[in-house]
């Protein structure tokens, strides 16, 4: 009789565990999203105050430039197209930013990509990428990318924000007055989204119940046979 009670208790624990597991919500599978589809105006081709990006600059109103408006400074201008975002470019204090609201699909691996050029750096300036105010990328004079003419591709893992609508911001502060100019050039922003795959299949409560019932019956048969 003790063995029968123990068997039934074990069966009951299976049912309890099953009920907890089946409370999980299965997210739908999200397809691959082509590069650049999530970011609006990824190359700033709408121009300054084109209505897509939220733009700010202490000295210039907007960091978005074309060669006719800004020249190329000490760099190469845009990576592609006619426009790019230029942070710095003055010997006075300068704070600049471009931002927009972005929605990332759920159940996905998220990679932010952009092209960056930092032809002039010193200890007075930096550029960062903020997501909902959290710093996810940072460059200052300590980076090997500094004082190099020519764009390089940068990638940042933002999978932690999968399924969220966030504020994506490229932000820079140049704390210099009368010193050498600091320049950070930004262009061609995109986001890669790769489906993380379907969630694990959890057997239904009914399936577990049948298994537990069969095991209980087998245990009873085994006990009775041993008594005979």
Q: Mark whether 132 and 149 lie in a shared domain.
A: yes
Instruction: Answer whether 161's CB lies under 8 Å from 110's CB.
Output: yes
Quick check: is 35 in a domain?
Answer: no
| Residue 169: closest CA among 131, 143, 199, 196 | 131
Q: Mark whether 223 and 147 lie in a shared domain.
A: no
Distance (Å, whole) CA 40 – CA 206: 47
pLDDT at 46: 97
Q: Mark whether 136 and 166 lie in a shared domain.
A: yes
Quick check: is 14 in a domain?
Answer: yes
Q: Mark whether 112 and 175 lie in a shared domain.
A: yes
Quick check: is 184 in a domain?
Answer: yes
Distance (Å, whole) CA 215 – CA 7: 9
Q: Mark whether 58 and 142 lie in a shared domain.
A: yes
Quick check: is 211 in a domain?
Answer: yes
Quick check: is 78 in a domain?
Answer: yes
Which residue in the block uniquely carries the two structure tokens 């009775």? 224
Q: Mark whether 65 and 114 lie in a shared domain.
A: yes
Q: Mark whether 111 and 163 lie in a shared domain.
A: yes
pLDDT in tens, the chain (228 residues): 444 433 433 444 333 333 333 333 333 444 444 444 799 999 999 999 999 999 999 999 999 999 999 999 889 999 999 999 999 988 889 999 999 999 999 999 999 999 999 998 888 899 999 999 999 999 999 999 999 999 999 999 999 999 999 999 999 999 876 666 899 999 999 999 999 887 666 656 566 667 767 677 777 655 665 555
What DSSP string runs through 103-153?
EPPSSEEEEEEEEEEEEE--TTEEEEEEETTEEEEEE-TTSTTBTEEEEEE
Q: Mark whether 109 and 220 lie in a shared domain.
A: no
Distance (Å, whole) CA 151 – CA 34: 22
Tokens representing 32 are 């691959």
Quick check: is 93 in a domain?
Answer: yes
Domain count, the chain: 2
Q: Mark whether 221 and 184 lie in a shared domain.
A: no
pLDDT at 199: 63
Look up the CATH number of the domain holding residue 139: 2.60.120.260
Quick check: is 150 in a domain?
Answer: yes
Instruction: Answer whether 39's CB lies under 8 Å from 191's CB.
Output: yes
Q: Mark whether 130 and 20 lie in a shared domain.
A: no
Q: Which helix (H) or strand (E) holds 12?
A: helix 2-21
Q: At what angle do helices 2-21 and 205-227 cross, to 10 degrees?
A: 170
What DSSP string runs through 200-212?
PP---HHHHHHHH
Residues spanned by the domain of 104: 54-195
Q: Mark whether 182 and 155 lie in a shared domain.
A: yes
Q: Mark whether 70 and 15 lie in a shared domain.
A: no
Quick check: is 13 in a domain?
Answer: yes
Cα dihedral angle (126, 128, 132, 133), rounded to 10 degrees?
-20
pLDDT at 122: 86
CB proximity list for 27: less than 8 A, separation 6 or greater = 106, 107, 163, 199
pLDDT at 198: 77
């Amino acid at each position: 009789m003790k063995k029968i009670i123990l068997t039934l208790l074990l069966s009951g624990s299976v049912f309890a565990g099953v009920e907890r597991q089946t409370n999980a919500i299965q997210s739908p599978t999200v397809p691959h999203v082509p590069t650049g589809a999530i970011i609006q105006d990824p190359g700033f081709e709408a121009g300054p105050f084109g209505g897509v990006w939220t733009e700010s600059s202490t000295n210039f109103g907007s960091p978005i430039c074309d060669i006719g408006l800004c020249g190329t400074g000490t760099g190469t201008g845009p990576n592609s197209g006619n426009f790019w975002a230029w942070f710095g470019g003055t010997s006075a204090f300068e704070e600049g930013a471009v931002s927009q609201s972005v929605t990332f699909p759920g159940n996905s691996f998220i990679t932010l990509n952009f092209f960056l050029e930092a032809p002039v750096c010193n200890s007075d300036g930096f550029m960062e990428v903020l997501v909902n105010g959290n710093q996810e990328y940072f460059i200052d004079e300590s980076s090997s990318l500094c004082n190099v003419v020519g764009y390089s591709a940068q990638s940042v893992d933002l999978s932690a924000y999968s399924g969220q609508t966030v504020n994506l911001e490229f932000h820079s502060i140049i704390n210099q007055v009368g010193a050498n100019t600091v320049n950070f050039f930004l262009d061609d922003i995109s986001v890669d989204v790769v489906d993380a795959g379907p969630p694990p299949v959890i057997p239904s409560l009914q399936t577990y119940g049948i298994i537990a019932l069969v095991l209980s019956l087998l245990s009873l048969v085994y006990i009775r046979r041993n008594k005979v």
